[in-house]
Structure 1
């Protein structure tokens, strides 16, 4: 076994190339093994980073060689710097922007929260860069809906080399002639599976149609179903080989550091069980950030109100909140001033809050991918995390995929979950309980008509 194979095995890295027999760049193990300039290396020390994460170890050698790449990794894996830092190196290697030029690097994200977080990470390194002239300074524009256009238009007209944006707002600016994609040669689709879920693929197609075909494209996703695979293949280069880097299981998988547990209850018991659970889990509210996920905007507000009535300091976040309010709520949660955040899935993707100790699924999501991304808010950056899910009879469609996720993560599968799965199908067919009841009802009505 070669040294690079040992590294990949240790980090659970799987790397593939679309061109059979093409060599895969060797993974690195230390920051100084990659040719980053001093301002980036110094920033690693400033931020107290010890060594690259698994995705960074394999992605940096591939991306720095100019290759297209598809990255599959769990949330909190360090993928932002995996695409961001090679992107900054790419920007610095290009000619300076002239009047009327658009950005060199474009990063598309599904939500404004994720756009803001990537912007913050980018600023950390751009501010550390000492330019050789005023024009050479690294400038960033962050574009997303729910914010005054005037400020963002001003950012675009300051000749930013980097634009981080949600697809809708960027397309809006492109169509209005505020910016363009003529100079874009480094394109990143982050949380691409979420953008697909949210229906952004048509906008992304319109945006990428304006980018040079010989661009470098990076595609990041936490899941790899057929729809995501089809989307990825439509954007990476067809003329040149591309690489796929997968960290952990290539199947739908959860963060292995999150201890998953379930409470099998009735819908009417949820709020009482939630307050009881918080009493047991949270001994020191200042060091126990907890995310509670609900399925609707109305429900988040109702649950937040009930928690406050029970004496728990809580805030809610969902799509109807104004941007200023959402940012304030997130800051209250990040700082620990308000230890409980009740949220819809708007907070499930890309939300980067350190030291979230518990994720509680007050309502189970409709799809297993959303479940994985929700519980991925805890157990980040190598730390242990915990999730507790309220499971009702209405959630039986999730039994089979949940069992697969638990088995893949090498965690105990509750007997109740197995029994519910077995009950959800009948020996004479694969109908769900709900479908079988409907069928039985139709058969009963038919039989009654025959008797008449």
Structure 2
């Protein structure tokens, strides 16, 4: 018991607002009540903690306040092997977790079922229910050749016990798609390249939609073709693609999807020459289908002959890729174009194509190489860089192609080319097959052909260095001060959807002319060497699709670009030599189409008058 005097002292020490509460609480403890535990036992209710004396609601009723216990029970021990970094998963209350369903093919995979696990008999994936309804079946998810699926899923089932119970055994193998331009890491394709893989409708739409080639070149039969070299009489021309029974099914399927019917003159002779495993030096007019002239026979030989020792070398040295075929091109635009065509002719095959070029992130290109590379398209400078990093080996390269060889020499790539071909591990001439393509045949190209080719066939289609007969050439005398007004007049008189390519000499001139035309309301874009790769690709893509049908360009776009349906080429600034003029106007009148080339001429261009007359 507390004495009244002590109560009085305590009362005066409390704040005024708490005195009434103190008095009420003290009066309640005058009669000792029954213990709370005894009351709970009598009423069979769980014990409740008393409300806090200082917490009441507006009506004066105490508000329950549950104090946490002073001593918390220790947390349950994590299961064995648990790292403790994250909280343990909640228990399942004695109920086992449901069995996860088998993985389904994602958007980049092509479901292929193979009853035996290997070999043929590929059919659309089927799931069967057996016994208690669990998934059974032995089949294989295999990434499509062009779909970009990152893995291959293999499943096998075996009966175990009664009641139709099935045992599912699965494993994931990191494998890349064996197709052009897609895949995943640790690429381990089959050594059998003769198989025709299943269709991928999404990839077909991506690769072959909008294809405009496959034109009959009936008027090309009159073009003279000169062919020299040892045993040239044994090579017979290809009259039509349908008559080529030696084509592998992968090539035949691609030719059908593209729409090829009758080959161009260079294809007519280059394809059988390459299939006969002869070295070739071909000079042909620009826009005559030279890309397919070397891709079709080389890939056909790769499908029939297989990878050789390249796959074994990759398995022995996983950090380095050993391509079977190498295609060198002068510019990144041409390299990208060749790569896109290679993807078409490698569709539904085990062959994977890659491309490397300067002006783009080398890290992403190296990662693509790590996923597998059988046919490599590259610019010389970037290829040397990748080789010095130890990511590409040319020890097992059986096919070498130099496209636009004269342009590569003009751009100063001869040291890099000789470094790649002569000073590394590439097989010597005679042990590899080498093809060179060029629009001209100057002395420098003749020396390169002598050093790189052995017993080669020389093929000249039409007059070497001449322009296409499908191009109507127009020369206009225009003073420098009147060029912009004359150009605007030509552009206003064009068809709304006609693609027009305007060439200038300098990068600064390209930017200035683009700005002037844009201010006049023309849909225009420009490309030159100082633009980033992303900007150049976007400008070319918009030009091809017609979003910006006027493109101002320097010589970076003059060679090798295959932009179909270019109606007119305008030389706003004439080049200084006739070879550059030939390559520029060759961007129109391609693959059998008609085109027009208009050139502005004045006193500054008198040095090219004689060559233009010829």
TM-score (norm 1): 0.82
Pick from 576, 583, 590 the counterpart of residue 373 of structure 1.
583
Deviation of residue 43 (structure 1)?
A: 1.7
Q: Structure 2: how far apart are the matches of 1:22 and 1:399?
A: 38
Cα deviation, 1:40-70, whole Å, max 9, x if unaligned, reads 1122121122211111111111110100001
1:271 match: 484
Segments of structure 1 that go 5 or more residues without pairing to the other structure are 1-6, 130-136, 405-452
Cα deviation, 1:223-275, whole Å, max 9, x if unaligned, reads 112222222222112xxx2101111113x211111000011121111111111
2:82 match: none
1:257–1:383: 8 Å Cα contact kept in structure 2?
yes
2:49 match: none
For the aligned residue pairs, the C-alpha RMSD in angstroms reads: 1.6
Q: 3-state DSSP class of the match of 2:242?
A: helix
Q: 3-state DSSP class of the match of 1:147?
A: coil
Q: Structure 2: how far apart are the matches of 1:155 and 1:90?
A: 24
Decide whether aligned partners of structure 1 residues 125 and 391 sit closer, same or farther in structure 2, where only a CA change above 3 A counts.
Answer: same
Cα deviation, 1:351-409, whole Å, max 9, x if unaligned, reads 111100000000001111110010000001101100100011010000111111xxxxx
Counterparts of residues 60-139 of structure 1 (less than 5 Å)? 60-92=271-303, 93-94=305-306, 95=308, 97-98=311-312, 99=314, 100=317, 101-129=321-349, 137-139=350-352
Deviation of residue 11 (structure 1)?
A: 4.3
2:266–2:293: 8 Å Cα contact kept in structure 1?
yes
Q: Structure 1: how far apart are the matches of 2:606 and 2:545?
A: 37
Q: Structure 2: how far apart are the matches of 1:199 and 1:285?
A: 40
TM-score (norm 2): 0.61
Q: 3-state DSSP class of the match of 1:285?
A: coil
2:239 match: 29
Q: 3-state DSSP class of the match of 2:530?
A: coil
**2:439 corresponds to 1:231:** no
Q: Which has the higher helix share?
A: 1
Q: 3-state DSSP class of the match of 1:15?
A: strand
Q: Structure 2: how far apart are the matches of 1:356 and 1:170?
A: 31
Q: Structure 1: how far apart are the matches of 2:374 and 2:530?
A: 32
Q: Structure 1: how far apart are the matches of 2:252 and 2:537?
A: 30
2:354–2:376: 8 Å Cα contact kept in structure 1?
yes
2:508 match: 298
1:295–1:345: 8 Å Cα contact kept in structure 2?
yes
1:409 match: none
Aligned length in residues:
382
Q: 3-state DSSP class of the match of 1:387?
A: strand
Q: Structure 2: how far apart are the matches of 1:70 and 1:268?
A: 44
Q: Structure 2: how far apart are the matches of 1:161 and 1:70?
A: 24
1:16 match: 228
Deviation of residue 9 (structure 1)?
A: 6.5
Q: Structure 1: how far apart are the matches of 2:593 and 2:484?
A: 29
- Higher-Rg member (1/2): 2
2:250–2:347: 8 Å Cα contact kept in structure 1?
no
Q: Which has the higher contact order (CA 8 A, sep 6+)?
A: 1
Counterparts of residues 238-249 of structure 1 (less than 5 Å)? 241-249=455-463
**2:427 corresponds to 1:212:** yes
Counterparts of residues 36-435 of structure 1 (less than 5 Å)? 36-92=247-303, 93-94=305-306, 95=308, 97-98=311-312, 99=314, 100=317, 101-129=321-349, 137-209=350-422, 210=424, 211-213=426-428, 214-237=431-454, 241-250=455-464, 252-280=465-493, 282=494, 284-286=495-497, 288-404=498-614
